[in-house]
Amino acid sequence: MKHTEIVITGIGVVASNGIGREAFWGALRKGVSGIKPVSLFDTGSIKSKQAGEIKDFDAKLYLGDKGLRLLDRSTKLANVAAKLALDDAHFTVTEENTDETGVVLGTTLGSVWSISEFDKTALVEGPRYVNPALFPNTVINSPASQISIRFGIKGFNTTIATGFTSSMDALKYACDFIRLGRAKAVLVGGVEELCLQTYLGFYKLQFLSGSKDDDQELNCPFDCRRNGIVFGEGAAMLLIEDAEAARARGVRIYARISSLGYEFVPYRINKYHRLGTGIRKAMKEALGAADLDVEDVDYISANANSTPEADRIEAVAIREVFGSTAQKIPVTAIKSMVGETFSASGAMQLAAASGSIKEGFIPPTLNLREKDPQCTLNCKDGISQKADIRHVLISCFGPSGVNTAVVLSKYEK
């Protein structure tokens, strides 16, 4: 496969602490959290009551009235993020470029609410009474398909559903298409919505903070008090392009995608491999593919989602990969501000890291008040740092064996 420089030219974010690139970056810089009491459904019967919910979300403000009535929340979130990314990149889909433009979206739980509601009608009133117009929302590729329909994109359209790493795996897929010469521009990202069904699923697995007896509901990565995730929702879409094509358009370039590392560890479903071999190998692969030494990394965007096991595994992996420099390199966890957005989390980290490179700051990790001695890293609580950022290592992994790492770099002509 030929070497092709791939860059990010457009960023669209719909997050609980800010909608739009500038609002999202501003919130990260100031350490503004999007975690709040859930209002989309009743949490009165359960202990967990908070989430990274996007309050008062109205897709009409961004997309207009047409074609929204039958779309579910996930599809609206993804389409708004796509619109923001295209506008940000000053990219107009035309008959000349549509076949060379693709869409690849990471989502795993996006259709859960629609399936549940559709099936509830079928069970209560009978299958003859379901609304067929709502059926497309029950298919997991609906958000990606609706993006192509709305913006007239005729190139490839793919949905990646690998759980926590879905949007990072979507990025790898998109980069491969560009390197193979099958696309020049790709809208890539991830989306998850907040709904009762998903929330209860994580709650009953005791994956949510506050779901176990005597646990306080907290969102504090790398902190001794952590006891589970606070679920978040949102969408982040990036327009990535062949650098040559981007230069020809004369557009602003936020960052360069230097490398991707991937490792799948077949272990157990919904269980983290306690030795962290997967994320360690993914980090090493990403650094090697980018031809970087550990001293070249300016900060690490950590996966850290406030679960006791995952945060410890990641901290140990970082110390093993970076050795004596591990205590010097700043580490941050943006999930302390937006929660665990599951399939969208990697894309959120990519959008955040792009802001760090472009604006020169390192986001803080919120609520880090009692540092876990097993997670000794260079994290700052609540305060962003000014810095000249050239290379960011992004870590993203989950239970069930998926592990990805990406190096995002400053674009230099």
Domains and CATH numbers, the chain: 6-249 (3.40.47.10), 258-409 (3.40.47.10)
pLDDT at site 2: 57
pLDDT at site 413: 77
Q: How far apart are alpha carbons 259 and 407 in whole angstroms? A: 5
How many helices (H) and strands (E) in the chain?
12, 15
How does pLDDT run along the chain (413 residues), one tens digit per residue?
A: 457 999 999 999 999 999 999 999 999 999 999 999 999 999 999 999 999 999 999 999 999 999 999 999 999 999 999 999 999 999 999 999 999 999 999 999 999 999 998 888 889 989 888 888 888 899 999 999 999 999 999 999 999 999 999 999 999 999 999 999 999 999 999 999 999 999 999 999 999 999 988 789 999 999 999 999 999 999 999 999 999 999 999 999 999 999 999 999 988 777 888 889 999 999 999 999 999 999 999 999 999 999 999 999 999 999 999 999 999 999 999 999 999 999 999 999 999 999 999 999 999 999 999 999 999 999 988 889 999 999 999 999 999 899 999 999 999 87
Model pTM? Answer: 0.97
pLDDT at site 211: 94
Neighbouring CB atoms inside 10 A of 56's CB total 7
Q: How far apart are alpha carbons 94 and 152 in whole angstroms? A: 8
Backbone torsions φ then ψ of 408, nearest 5 degrees: -110, 135
DSSP string, 279-324: HHHHHHHHHHHTT--GGG--EEE----S-HHHHHHHHHHHHHHHGG
Burial call 232-246: b when 16+ CB within 10 Å, e when fewer: bbbbbbbbbbbbebb
pLDDT at site 1: 46
Question: pLDDT digit string (tens) for 185-200?
Answer: 999 999 999 999 999 9
Question: pLDDT digit string (tens) for 203-230?
Answer: 999 999 999 887 899 999 999 999 999 9
Question: Computed over its alpha carbons, how large is the radius of gyration of the chain?
Answer: 20
Q: How far apart are alpha carbons 112 and 140 in whole angstroms? A: 9
The burial of 284, by beta-carbon neighbours within 10 Å (0-12 exposed, 13-18 middle, 19 or more buried), is given as middle
Q: How far apart are alpha carbons 243 and 256 in whole angstroms? A: 9
